[in-house]
Chain A
Amino acid sequence: MTDPVLAAALVGVGGAVGAMARHAVGLRIAGRRSVVVVNTLGSLALGAVLSAPIGANAALFVAVGVCGAFTTFSSFAVETVSTAADGDTRVAAGFAAVNLALALGAFLLGTVAVGRIASVVAGLL
């Protein structure tokens, strides 16, 4: 069991890294698209990390901290309802659906990919 203060520090520093990376993506890709990009990439990474043989501390840092903060639900929700409020309800619905489909697909891809790599590595050893 990780010490609570260490756990919070790992999550916090990971969160700072994830937030800065998301901000960097947001500066390069405008508006809704950046939200889809970070949510998809972050879900891919989380799927991979959760399937990898890593320790509890590494999981707190990468999964809860970095991936958790890199992806965002609040920006996704505000973008969706703002788009709908502007009258673009089809765009808003499409955005909400695409976010889920891509993030879910990416998460499963990350899970499967790491499983494959792990079995290949196990075969070599």
Chain B
Amino acid sequence: MERTPIGFLLVALGGFVGAVARYGVDVAAGDVTGLGTFTVNAVGSFALGVLVARATTTRTQLFVGTGALSSFTTYSTFVGDTVALGTAAGARYVAASYVVGFAAATVGLVAGRRL
């Protein structure tokens, strides 16, 4: 499934949905540098934690996990925002994103196992 055209199609469709949703959050977050990216990364890390802890089908993992959630979150814009914030604020931004992102993923993994 992963290597088939259907697998790539599921990833592409999920990627479309995830990227548009991320853009929507960015627009809603307004001009505060990093706020939108911080939000999507925290929410997406929680949701991916839930997903990988659940025994779902390969199709679901490809569409929701590899496609939507992995595209909803982003590392490149996270790095770009870090640089834009400068050394001191950038370091705080990285620390906050890491702490909250890891906590969200942990809570998601635990919640996913219990659901």
Q: Which A residues are within 8 Å of any B CB, using their own CB?
A: 7-8, 11-20, 22-24, 26-27, 38-39, 42-43, 45-47, 50, 60, 63-65, 67-78, 80-82, 85, 96, 99-100, 103-104, 107-108, 111
Contacts and interface: CB of A to CB of B under 8 A. Distances in A.
A81 to B, nearest CB: 5
B19 A96 contact: no
B70 to A, nearest CB: 4
Name the prevailing secondary structure of the A interface residues.
Answer: helix
Contacts of B75: 38-39, 42-43, 71-73, 76, 99, 103
Given A11-B23, A15-B19, A16-B19, A47 B80 contact: yes
Given A43-B76, A74-B69, A78-B108, 10 more contacts: A14-B19, A16-B13, A16-B19, A17-B12, A19-B12, A69-B19, A73-B44, A74-B45, A78-B45, A81-B49
Interface residues of B, number: 53
B112 to A, nearest CB: 10
Given A42-B75, A71-B74, A23 B8 contact: yes
A82 B53 CA distance: 10
A69 B7 CA distance: 17
A81 B18 contact: no
B63 to A, nearest CB: 10
B83 A74 contact: no
B97 to A, nearest CB: 8
Interface of B: 2-3, 7-8, 11-20, 22-24, 26, 40-41, 44-45, 47-49, 52, 62, 66-67, 69-80, 82-83, 94, 97-98, 101-102, 104-106, 108-109
B15 A19 contact: yes
Contacts of A39: 75-76
A52 to B, nearest CB: 14
Contacts of A19: 11-12, 14-16, 18-19, 66-67, 70-71
A74 B72 contact: yes
A80 B105 contact: yes
A107 B45 contact: no
A43 B76 CA distance: 4
A107 B8 contact: no
B23 A78 contact: no
